[in-house]
Amino acid sequence: MRVRRWSAPSGEASAACSDRTQLQRDADAITAVGATGVQARLVTSGGRSLTATSGVADLRVRQPVSRNGYFRMASVTKAFVATVTLQLAGDRRLSLDDSVDRWLPGVVSGNGNDGHAITIRELLQHTSGIHDDYPDYASAADFQQHRYDSYTPEQTVARAMRHRPDFPPGKDGSWSYSNTDYVLLGMIIERVAGHSWHEEVRDRIVRPLGLDHTFWPGTSPTLPRPHAETYQSFEPGEPLVDVTEQVGQGTNGEAGLVSTTADLNRFFRALLGGRLLRPAQMAQMQQTMPVGEEFERLLPGARDGLGLFSRPLSCGGVYWGHEGGDAGWITATGVPADGRRSVVVSLSGVRANSTQDVLHVEQAETKLVDDALCANPDAGHQRP
């Protein structure tokens, strides 16, 4: 008779179990402070993919959140646009020191705005000084009336040109997050490459990396299934409104792609692993500066590169990535400098009735990313 022997789990399996438990605990903590749904995916140094979900995908039928659900990544799109821009620089088809007016003559002008004085580098790093007058919904009724509206890049830039600059371009220490900067980058990519920014993203990044679930939805207001519904409260005390079905404002290069946690992990691992940019361009992408005071409150220690942010890790060093948030969605990404691990978390139905609400969610989300990247027993690297 064969006697079945019990054996302790291997180190790798034990580490994976610990990672998964912590990931689940942190996902649950996010829904506890203010999100209807969370999906998170950690890729370990051994290539193991661990997932956790929390909350519900739909408040009406309360189905669970899918581990492979689609979501609008919002401003994480900027990392893709920046990568294409730097690829074009590496191909010597443009220079980061080119003026905006070199490629878009007369587009940035009026009220003290001057495209001759702003460079592509300054657009990438939010140091252009261009004031961001970005379309948004003022109320639930406004959302219902305008949810299917779309805007051309020219219309979005024209809104910004109605304002004086926030500061002179490239002024020492001045920084202000501007979606309009990335609308202009999308327009420049089209002028340089002869194709739209999203076609260049598709051909240069999505297809080569096999990101089969990443795409530009154009003016389609719907998402493929599976996906979580997302919700927004437009005024404190008002009920949540399902805002999943909308064209959205991010169709111009600043916040337009749909993806999954698996695809975003693959993208950021490839980017930080040197598979998308030449070393010179990667080095420029990682030349950072302090962010503005408002960003610093939400993302302590963040520094902005060219379409990529760095943030400190509690176990030492920094991680790289980009956040995105729009219409109840928040997406956060993280890859440490050694590229051994990566994590992506997507939140839906985020409560944002006050700055304090957003701060609580951001703190819980930051803890998930930090725990995922620091609790690294398979690399012998533990949180102190």
pLDDT at site 337: 87
pLDDT at site 102: 98
Residue 269 CB contacts under 8 Å (≥ 6 apart), including other chains: 43, 335, 339, 342
Task: Report the predicted TM-score, pTM, of the whole model to 2 decimal places.
Answer: 0.94
Indicate the helix (H) or strand (E) that contains 333.
strand 329-336
pLDDT at site 8: 40
pLDDT band at 134 (very low <50, low <70, confident <90, very high): confident
Provide the 8-state DSSP code for 239: P
pLDDT band at 383 (very low <50, low <70, confident <90, very high): very low
Whether 188 has a pLDDT exceeding 70, the answer reads yes
- Of 134, 137, 102, 136, the C-alpha closest to 117 is 102
pLDDT at site 51: 98
Alpha-helical (H) ranges within 147-245 are 153-160, 179-193, 197-201, 207-209
What is the per-residue pLDDT across 328-355, written as a single tens digit (0 to 9) for each? 999 999 999 888 899 999 999 998 888 8
Instruction: Taking residues 300-306, report their average pLDDT.
Output: 98
Q: pLDDT: is 151 or 40 the higher one?
A: 40
- Residue 44 CA: distances (Å) to CA of 48, 160, 222: 5, 43, 32
Q: State the average pLDDT for the chain.
A: 92
Give the integer Cα–Cα distance in Å for 260 and 103: 33
Domains of the chain, CATH where assigned = 15-379 (3.40.710.10)
The string of DSSP letters for 17-62 reads HHHHHHHHHHHHHHHHHH-SEEEEEEE-TT--EEEEEEEBS-TTT-
Whether 222 has a pLDDT exceeding 60, the answer reads yes
Give the integer Cα–Cα distance in Å for 300 and 164: 29
Provide the 8-state DSSP code for 297: H
pLDDT band at 10 (very low <50, low <70, confident <90, very high): low
pLDDT at site 16: 80
Q: Hey, what long-range contacts does 230-233 have (CB within 8 A, 24 or more apart)? A: 230/36, 230/71, 230/327, 230/328, 230/329, 230/348, 230/349, 231/36, 231/59, 231/328, 231/348, 231/349, 232/143, 232/327, 232/328, 232/349, 232/352, 233/351, 233/352, 233/353
